[in-house]
Amino acid sequence: MHIQKDALQSVNTAGLDRHEAEFAFLADRLTADGVDVEALVGDLADFQVAIPSWALGAGGTRFGRFSFHGEPGSLEQKIDDVGVLHALTRAAGAVSLHIPWDTPTDYAAVKERAAGHGLSFDAINSNTFQDQAGAARSYKHGSLSATDEAVRRQAIDHNLEVIEIGGRLGSKSLTVWLADGTTFPGQRNFQRSLTQTEDSLRQIYAGMPADWKLYIEYKPYEPNFYSTVIQDWGTSFMLANACGERAYTLVDLGHHLPNSNIEQIVSTLMLKGKLGGFHFNDSKYGDDDLTVGSIKPYALFLIFTELVFGMRNNPQNPDPAWMIDASHNVKDPLEDLVQSLEAIREAYAKALLVDQESLAAAQADHDVVTCQELLQDAYRTDVRPLLQCARLNRGGALHPLRAYRQLGVRETLIRERGKNTVATGL
């Protein structure tokens, strides 16, 4: 389905007066504080986040999966869903595919469909954490780190095939996340596993076109519960350095042990020019993949403050590839993604409001109280009128969630696709 412009405009009309009053009030205040409001709104509108194809269906846990009606049953329908999100939010201008779940059959048709929604293809994801039908070897005991050379070969070849598929769609980067690790002490030799992983990644890197980037994701535990081969940012950073200058670390917010200082990790990686990709989600306990900003919005703001500092001060770091990596078992996946997109832009807007000059001065004076006040003043600002303005300027919805419901998007999808469709993926 496509969101019709006229329909969206008529839904927007209802709240327009109130929005304009709220925007004028905030813009006056910010302008008096020396903020260039127009530039700020432009930065917000430009901030685009990729939607992973696997977030469009209801997720599941190891205990069960409860389907959400009208889920996309094909790659084309997944692209349509991201198109709906982008039409409403104007913040989801890219899609991130997963192979083999999303292997296209008709490349030209898939590209045309994405272009029709104004979408590009961002980082493509390989999968060596599941056995695929008909595969000669099993990843039960590892993939890129496997003891058996034939298993490693199969996993490397899969990644090379993913690069080839991504290349045909216009993708320019590969994200590798490994489930490799052990569940019991003594199960494998740490040094051999790491050496073999490095060797495998170097072979994948060597097979990438010259304008591609490799993102190496890390995660401390799960599905293995004693050790993970790429357990933390340091291991990822070391492997990226071993591969070459177009290999980078990818930070996934949920892939840290409780209370990790993620903003400091982000800061260090950007200083070293090695923050390549970023996956948004939120968590209470572990890799919970909850809606962005639903649990720890202040931590998200602090992370964004470091991202903004890095984007302004670290030309050695490329623009990170932004992606939402969340899944939900109880919400409408599209509504969940709208909430995540809103939380991301909200945190970004607040981070842009941090008065960096005054902060540097307060830091130099060891005025700890003022340092905290400067951060919290930005955090406490209700930036929603700015986000609304950024969306309206690009033809999006004033209130994306409200519009989604008023336009009856889910009902239309159910009518078009049927009730009991199940999205491919987890």
List of residues contacting Mn ion (CB under 5 A): 252, 279, 325
- 68, with CB counted inside 10 A (0-12, 13-18, 19+), is buried
Q: Would you state the structure tokens that stand for residue 68, as one six-digit string?
A: 């959400």
DSSP tag of 140: T
Q: How far is the CB of 223 from Mn ion (least distance, A)?
A: 14
* Least Cβ distance, residue 253 to Mn ion (angstroms): 9
Instruction: Decide whether 253 or 362 has the Cβ nearer to Mn ion.
Output: 253
Q: Which residues contact 200 (CB under 8 A, 6 or more apart)?
A: 144, 145, 152, 155, 156
**Least distance between Mn ion and beta carbon 303 (Å):** 15
| Residue number, 19 or 279, with CB nearest to Mn ion | 279
For Mn ion, give the closer residue by CB, 249 or 388: 249
Pick 12 or 173: Cβ nearer Mn ion: 173
Strands of the 94-96 sheet, one edge to the other: 120-121, 94-96, 50-52, 321-324, 275-280, 247-252, 213-217, 173-176, 124-125
Q: Please provide the DSSP assignment of 63-80 as one string.
A: TEE---TT---SHHHHHH
Tokens representing residue 270 in the block: 């950007």
Residue 385: partners with Cβ closer than 8 Å, 6 or more residues away: 19, 22, 23, 25, 26, 27
CB of 96 to Mn ion, least distance (A): 10
d(CA 46, CA 394): 10
Shortest Å, Cβ 327 to Mn ion: 10
Distance CA 425, CA 98 (A): 8
Between residues 251 and 407, which has the closer beta carbon with respect to Mn ion? Answer: 251
**223 preceded by a cis bond (ω within 30 of 0):** yes
Name the nearest CA neighbour of 99 among 123, 74, 124: 124
Distance in Å, CB of 98 to Mn ion, minimum: 11
The nearer residue to Mn ion, 102 or 252, going by C-beta atoms, is 252
- Residue 215 per-residue DSSP state: E
235 token code pair:
């291991």
* Residue 295 or 361 with smaller CB distance to Mn ion: 295
For the bound state, the minimum distance from the C-beta of residue 277 to Mn ion, rounded and expressed in Å, comes to 9
Quote the least distance from Cβ 177 to Mn ion, whole Å: 6
Residue placing its CB nearer to Mn ion in the complex, 81 or 325:
325
